[in-house]
Amino acid sequence: MCGILGYVGPQNVSEVLIEGLRKLEYRGYDSTGIAVFSKGDFQLYRSKGKIAALVEKIGSEKPQGHSGIGHTRWATHGKPSDENAHPHRSENLVLVHNGIIENHVEIRQELESRGVCFSSETDTEVIPHLMEHCVKEGMSIEDALYSCIAKLKGAFAIAVFSKQQPEKIYAAKNASPIILGIGQGENFISSDIPAILDHTRKVVVLEDGEVAMIDREKYWITDFDRNPIERDPKEITWSRIAAEKEGYKHFMLKEIYEQPRALADCLRGRVDEKQYLPALPEVSLPKLESMHRVILIACGTSWHAALVAKYWMESFIKIPVEVEVSSEFRYRDPVLDSNTLVILISQSGETADTLAAMTKAKPSGARMISICNVIDSSIARKSDDVMYTHAGPEIGVASTKAFTTQLTALALLTLAIAYQRKSISNAEVRDMTQQLLHLPSLIEECLDMNPHVEKLAKELIDVRDVLYIGRGSSYAIALEGALKLKEISYIHAEGYMGGELKHGPIALIDKDLPVVALVSGGPTYEKMLSNIEEVKARGAFVIGVCEQGDQKVQKQSRGILEVPQTSDFLRPIVESIPLQLLSYHVAEQRGCDVDQPRNLAKSVTVE
Ligand code: AGP
């Protein structure tokens, strides 16, 4: 998720772009850049790091001009560096992009065969060169733009302009956001509202499959087939900080709602949609042929993702799988060998304990794959292969979209290995791959329950303890639900195996102790139903997480969190959504600092 910005108008464009990009930094901040049309050519400035680094690089003599584009990057392809920073240019064109071009390798190979030289590792750089190629064949920039976007596969929000028409900036949108800011004698293109609120509150939102053009006086919109679209500006009433959260009260709630898009981005380019098979270009599967054991290592929520993956890997790859907490593993003398696959899971890619665990495992010759969200992070760089979750920046300390995209990446990896080793049938791999493609819409359905969860949360805001119980892979979700609640609402919460209640914890049950039971199906459904009856008989306040319309659970529960019917395979991912919402609303109603809970940091880079 990056931030793009374009401006045409009477103001000094460098100032407009720099100030605007500062307000888009929450969308990504590993490199930034601007391109200003000045003295007959593009003045391009790009820098690894945040806006401050770019401002330093530009110096006091900011380029003077009245049209330009800018970008703040959350890297997806190509490490954070000056060369990979946007804007990217060809001879006559300069462009910024937010999204993932799935077929960038083929396009790059075709252009290189025609003698085009590339200066970056990014997927983005193929776009200006592809357009330039069309312009050199006699097309106008507009014709070149329409011709180029017809060839692009994947998500893109682009702003592009040429030296020949420097006061016309074009935009094209598919699956990544773009808005137009409409001013007096000036106009803007932006990923999001915060960047333009200091200049105008009149906004036109582009839809997927649309192209737009702005100059000082006007804008127009068409669809990808060049059919004109009339759309009047809307007045924005948000404050700027509200706009950064896109109107949500907290980043955490925004990130919970971003999950359908984040999961779609995580799946993008990793499924052969003709055959419905996983296709992981970033993982050298043949090197896993001799693998006879898997060890998953992580902390916190990422460790819960590892616990879920254990169930999948044992079922579908049929080899022993162990799950380790990084801070314990690093101080043990683990027995590993070159036929062990070590999978490190870390949103930040900088967690000290997980880094240390990696260092401990490395001498064994075990193959190291990491599942990270931050491109080129320390754990990612030190791995043999890395699968990025493409969740975009997660600002809230409590991990939500990072968790569900970790599970999605782990599910893809599991299916890809199972397919390669033929440990399950191709039909089973296809079926589960198709299920994964359907996951974003399942999550959308879960989010529809938010108003109900908000109401139910009211009943928990004054409790002291909550017990979460689950079995199988839902036990990991019980742990995750408990962690979410305790880390943002400061209510003590524990996740427990349903089958363990009778071995001690049931002594805890007394009148009105909330017990959140994950009982949305699967082989242990009846056992979980018994657990609910046991605790209800002792006065517990049961909240049942169950399939929509499950009367049995409803009869036994004082509160219900319904999820759409799904398979054992996807159940843990789906069950985590209502628990994210429950913890959010309890914390918010208790007046806690939801995005920055006390004593916590987003990335634990110390021991
Ligand atoms: C999750 O809600 C917590 N913020 C925390 O447990 C987190 O998952 C843990 O610190 C691991 O972080 P990582 O994924 O960046 O390694």
Whether residue 607 lies inside any domain: the answer is no
Classify each residue of 475-496 as buried b or exposed e, where b means 16 or more C-beta atoms within 10 Å of its C-beta: bbbbbbbbbbbbbbbebebbbb
583 ligand 1 Cβ < 6 A: no
Which of 437, 465, 490 is the last residue before a domain boundary?
437
Task: Give yes or no: residues 518 and 453 share one domain.
Answer: yes
Query: Residue 494 carries which side chain, given as an amino acid letter?
Result: E
Do residue 378 and residue 333 come from a single domain? yes
Determine the residue of 251, 345, 351 to mutate for testing ligand 1's pocket, defined as the one with the most ligand atoms within 8 A of the Cβ atom. Answer: 351
Cα(41) to ligand 1 centroid in Å equals: 46
Neighbours of 133 (CB within 10 A): 18
- Minimal-distance CA residue to ligand 1 atom 4: 398
Residue 252 domain flag: yes
Examine the domain organization and report whether 141 and 168 are in the same domain.
yes
Q: Give the number of the atom of ligand 1 that is nearest the alpha carbon of residue 397.
A: 4
Q: Indicate the residue among 183, 210, 237 that finishes a domain.
A: 237
pLDDT value, residue 76: 77
SS (H, E, C) 553-570: HHHHCCEEEEECCCCCCC
Q: Is residue 605 part of a domain?
A: no
Of the residues 413, 437, 461, the one at which a domain ends: 437
Q: What is the pLDDT of residues 170-224, one digit of tens each?
A: 999 998 889 999 999 999 999 988 899 999 999 999 999 999 999 999 999 999 9
Q: What are the backbone angles phi and psi of residue 181, rounded to the nearest 5°?
A: -100, 125
Residue 483 CA to ligand 1 center (angstroms) comes to 10
Please identify, by atom number, the ligand 1 atom nearest to the C-alpha of residue 484. Answer: 2
Question: Which stretch of DSSP H or E encloses residue 171?
Answer: strand 169-174
- From the alpha carbon of 379, which atom of ligand 1 is closest? 16
What's the total number of domains in the chain? 3
Active site residue 602: yes
**Amino acid sitting at position 388:** Y
Please state, in angstroms and rounded to a whole number, the distance separating the CA atoms of residues 359 and 376. 17
Q: Are 462 and 347 members of one domain? A: no
Q: What is the pLDDT of residue 607?
A: 67
Nearest CA to ligand 1 atom 13: 346
Per-residue buried b or exposed e for 170-185, using 16+ beta carbons within 10 Å of the residue's own CB: bbbbbbbbbbbbbbee
Summarised one tens digit per residue, pLDDT across range 227-275 is 999 999 988 877 777 777 888 999 999 999 999 999 999 999 999 988 9
Does the CB atom of residue 603 touch ligand 1 within 6 A? yes
Judgement on whether residues 455 and 423 belong to the same structural domain of the protein: no
Ligand 1, closest atom to CA 301? 8
Tell me, using a 6 A CB cutoff, whether residue 433 lines ligand 1: no
In a domain, 100, yes or no: yes
Looking at the fold, whether 276 and 222 belong to one and the same domain comes out as no
Is 413 contained in some domain?
Answer: yes
φ, ψ (nearest 5 deg) of residue 388:
-85, 140
Does some domain include residue 196?
A: yes
CATH number for the domain harbouring residue 586: 3.40.50.10490
CA of residue 476 to ligand 1 center, whole Å: 15
Instruction: Kindly report the protein residue whose alpha carbon is nearest to atom 7 of ligand 1.
Output: 300
- Tell me which of 2, 299, 446, 546 is the catalytic residue: 2
* Any domain includes 277: yes
Ligand 1 pocket residue status of 351, Cβ below 6 Å: yes
Is 2 a catalytic site residue? yes
354 ligand 1 Cβ < 6 A: yes
- For residue 175, the domain's CATH number is 3.60.20.10
Q: Compute, in angstroms, the gap from residue 431 CA to the centroid of ligand 1.
A: 31
Structural domain includes residue 606? no
Cβ–ligand 1 contact at 347 (below 6 Å): yes
Q: Which residue has the tokens 């992070």?
A: 377
Which residues make Cβ contacts (< 8 Å) with residue 58, sequence separation at least 6?
Answer: 14, 18, 34, 45
- Residue 128 belongs to domain spanning: 3-237
Closest ligand 1 atom number to CA of residue 600: 4
Task: Please tell me whether residues 222 and 160 are part of one structural domain.
Answer: yes
3-state secondary structure of 70: strand
Residues 154 and 273 in one domain: no
- The residue to mutate among 255, 301, 607, having the most atoms of ligand 1 within 8 angstroms of its beta carbon, is 301
Q: Which of 312, 315, 335 is nearest to 324 (CA)?
A: 335
| Same domain for 501 and 472 | yes
Q: Verify that 158 and 47 share a domain, yes or no.
A: yes
Do 538 and 420 have their domain in common? Answer: no
pLDDT less than 50: residues of the chain: none
The catalytically annotated residue of 57, 79, 552, 602 is 602
Q: Specify whether 433 is located in the same domain as 451.
A: no
Query: What atom in ligand 1 is closest to the CA of residue 603?
Result: 15
